[in-house]
A and B are shown apart, each in its own frame.
Chain A
């Protein structure tokens, strides 16, 4: 039971190391989803962060897209669903709407990931710009449909622009994390 991989004479050393390794791998695997969930919760706090509510969908979309392409095991369908549901409940939107839209985005990204991975950064960004904008408009459509009235259009445009603009930042952080922190099998 002692998780001390440094000692050399424990009989159950192998299994404890394996357990620690497994936990470590699990933590690294859950890191992208966990950080995204944390961002959802923190951005809802009144931190005075400008345009936090408009930034949040774009940020989560970028995260879902990036990790679905590069590491679908870390951003699996249940995790995407959980993130969407959390965002709906925290943001007091109709429950399931965000989850549905994020799942569609995730599905497209996973389906086309081998084509997408061959693109360079600019190509990925363009694809995300198209998909993210479509997702924002679909979100607007679903919310308007469920509320029985057309919601104002200006926030959607703002939301799309923020989603497109935040992607490079997230991709840079994500690429670093993808190779170091969130990698279940670090090379070193």
Chain B
């Protein structure tokens, strides 16, 4: 220590506080302005701490496994009976599955079905619950070394859990579907509606922007819709539940508060690009045509989109979609983000403006 007089030391001590306060304000502003540096700093800290966290997590996992085993011993007879009956049911389903698989294979062969690319995946352990109070995210102990990239899909054992938003060297952050920043396009399986599943930091994300004449049905399955090219379609997400009238939420299959192991899939969805359409009719007259209608928003509903996709047209004649279908054979300008299967039918009624008839 450098010998200094007491007065100087006291003055220096008094200076520390305002200096640190200014430094913290500067950190807030800098971190806010330069998000990339913030992400780098966070991932560096996470990279350093993730081995420690996995060390800490291991005894906890073992203890909870031992506890659940102990608890299971008490109910062995009951459990055995339950499993036996479940096994009988499952054997029936097994036969059904075998025959359906064979039928499916035959049909696909006859149709010259283009098989989906098999996604590669990495299984990683959740080593950190780094969400904090105002966000929900987990840290996994796999990074770009193992092939995890930003935008990959994380699935828990039961269903869709989240997406990789940041990667370090050997760790990655997965933003969960119940985070307030999460917006996932979903498809409702039995009512064939689409909606946006929006997280609100509660355990169950809400459904927004569904068609007003096609409400989600209580208890129906929710899967990803595959629109927007970020996610493949058909990943199981959860079931619809109404907590109040007109407030549908999704009860996720994945246990988002007790995630232990995640499979991170690389679906390579960004490789699907809509082809250019040389010589097609320009979009400008189409907009004028739209404006001539009394209600220019007519036909821009999710229902119209879904009707177009599924061939489920309702009785109400949708005037805007039928002529457009002939005028615009390929939708490269209006909606470059749509997948190839629903081109031509769904896209003329899917403008880039927000969907007006839905609500949250």
Q: Interface of A with B (CB < 8 Å)?
A: 41-42, 44-48, 52-54, 56-57, 76-78, 80-81, 84-86, 89-97, 99-100, 103-104, 106-107, 110, 140, 142-143, 146-147, 149, 151-152, 155-156, 159
Contact = CB atoms under 8 A, between A and B. Distances in A.
Interface stretch (B98-106, B124-132, B223-231, B338-346): B124-132
Contacts of B31: 94-96
Contacts of B56: 42, 45, 47
Interface in B92-115: none
Contacts of A76: 13, 16
B28 interface: yes
B200 interface: yes
A84 B24 CA distance: 9
Given A78-B16, A96-B31, A100-B21, A151 B134 contact: yes
Contacts of B135: 92-93
Given A41-B49, A53-B129, 14 more contacts: A45-B53, A45-B128, A46-B57, A48-B64, A77-B20, A77-B21, A78-B20, A92-B132, A92-B173, A96-B30, A100-B21, A100-B25, A103-B17, A152-B202
B66 interface: no
Contacts of B258: 48
Contact of A44 (B53, B200, B201, B259): B53
A103 B180 contact: no
30 contacts: A41-B49, A41-B53, A42-B56, A45-B52, A45-B53, A47-B57, A48-B258, A53-B129, A57-B133, A78-B20, A84-B24, A86-B45, A89-B41, A90-B45, A90-B46, A90-B49, A91-B133, A92-B132, A93-B135, A94-B28, A95-B28, A95-B42, A96-B26, A103-B17, A103-B24, A140-B134, A147-B134, A151-B134, A152-B201, A155-B134
B17 A92 contact: no
Given A45-B128, A151-B180, A96 B60 contact: no
Contacts of A93: 132, 134-135
B127 A45 contact: yes
Contact of B133 (A45, A46, A53): A53
A78 B17 CA distance: 8
Chain B interface mostly: helix
A151 B130 contact: no
A38 B131 CA distance: 18
B129 A45 contact: yes
Contacts of B41: 89, 95
B313 interface: no
B277 interface: no
A155 B133 contact: yes
Contacts of B138: 46
A186 B81 CA distance: 65
A65 to B, nearest CB: 15
Nearest to A159: B133
B45 A89 contact: yes
A162 to B, nearest CB: 10
User: Which of A76, A96, A146, A152 has the most chain B CB atoms inside 10 A of its CB?
Assistant: A96
A96 B202 contact: no
B60 A48 contact: yes
For the complex of A and B, list the 4 residue pairs with the smallest distance between their C-beta atoms, beginning with the closest. A96-B27, A91-B132, A96-B28, A95-B31
Interface in B274-306: none
Contact of B28 (A54, A91, A97, A152): A97
Nearest to A101: B24
A153 to B, nearest CB: 11
Contacts of B137: 92
Given A44-B129, A92-B132, A159-B133, A152 B180 contact: yes
Nearest to B200: A152
Contacts of B17: 77, 103, 106-107, 110
Contact of A46 (B23, B28, B30, B127): B127
A171 to B, nearest CB: 23
A164 to B, nearest CB: 16
Contact of B42 (A53, A89, A97, A103): A89
A72 to B, nearest CB: 9
Nearest to B25: A100
Nearest to B259: A46
A44 B45 CA distance: 12
Nearest to B125: A46
B300 to A, nearest CB: 26
Contacts of A95: 27-28, 30-31, 38, 41-42
Nearest to A57: B133
Nearest to A84: B24
A176 to B, nearest CB: 25
A156 B134 CA distance: 9
A185 to B, nearest CB: 16
Given A92-B131, A92-B137, A146-B32, A85 B27 contact: yes
